[in-house]
Amino acid sequence: MTVNCICPGYVWTPLVENQIPDTMKARGLTYDQVVNDVLLDKQPQKAFVEVEQLASLMLYLVSDGARAITGSMLSMDGGWTAQ
């Protein structure tokens, strides 16, 4: 058995998308300002992680090709933790 942890940055989901208008109102910002200056500020790639990317990594981790990977924390955060 293997046990690993995927540590994503902001993932583009309906939850994140639905929070943008509230953040716009609370901070007096535009949509683009919330996305670029708040949500993606710490991500060097300036792009959200996509659900499909997380799924691909998960599928790899449960495959035979990854059976020797265990006890690992894998960041998928657009470079946030590498700063």
**What CATH number should be reported for the domain holding residue 45?**
3.40.50.720
pLDDT in the model for residue 1:
85
Q: In the chain, pLDDT over 70 holds for what percent of residues?
A: 100
Distance CA 28, CA 60 (A): 42
What is the pTM (predicted TM-score) of this model? 0.82
For 54, the enclosing helix (H) or strand (E) is helix 51-61
Distance CA 68, CA 50 (A): 26
- Among 44-48, 50-54, 57-61, 78-82, the minimum mean pLDDT is found in 78-82
Please tell me the total count of domains within the chain: 1
Distance CA 18, CA 51 (A): 16
Nearest to 76 by CA among 12, 16, 15, 6: 6
Q: Mean pLDDT over residues 56-70, rounded?
A: 96
Owning domain of residue 13 = 5-82
Q: How confident is the model at residue 83 (pLDDT cuts 50, 70, 90)?
A: confident
